[in-house]
């Protein structure tokens, strides 16, 4: 039997907080909340686990490209 329940992105994967529209890396889950960090680094924020969804292909490409461009500006 297959489950129809969707699961969000796992720890270390990119995800989108549907409530705020912010894209980040899922860092962990603490106290019933998912902790996410901005793709370019920074302060983590808490999101409801049900609001953390997988990115569409275009969103993921855009996020990865932004990181790559930022790294090239500082010589990484």
pLDDT value for 14: 95
Asked if residue 55 is part of any domain, the answer here is yes
Asked if residue 54 is part of any domain, the answer here is yes
The one-digit pLDDT tens for each residue of the chain (76 residues) are 455 555 789 999 999 999 999 999 999 999 999 999 999 889 999 999 999 999 999 999 999 998 888 888 776 6
Asked if residue 68 is part of any domain, the answer here is yes
Rounded Cα–Cα distance for residues 57 and 43 (Å): 25
- State how far the alpha carbon of 44 is from the alpha carbons of 24, 58, 63, 72, in Å: 9, 23, 17, 24
Asked if residue 65 is part of any domain, the answer here is yes
Asked if residue 7 is part of any domain, the answer here is no
Number of structural domains (the chain) is 1
């Amino acid at each position: 039997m297959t489950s129809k329940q969707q699961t969000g992105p796992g720890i270390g994967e990119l995800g989108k907080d549907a409530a705020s529209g912010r894209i980040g890396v899922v860092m962990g889950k603490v106290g019933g909340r998912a902790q996410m960090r901005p793709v370019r680094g920074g302060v983590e924020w808490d999101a409801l686990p049900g609001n953390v969804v997988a990115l569409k292909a275009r969103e993921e490409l855009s996020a990865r490209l932004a990181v790559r461009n930022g790294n090239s500006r500082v010589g990484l």
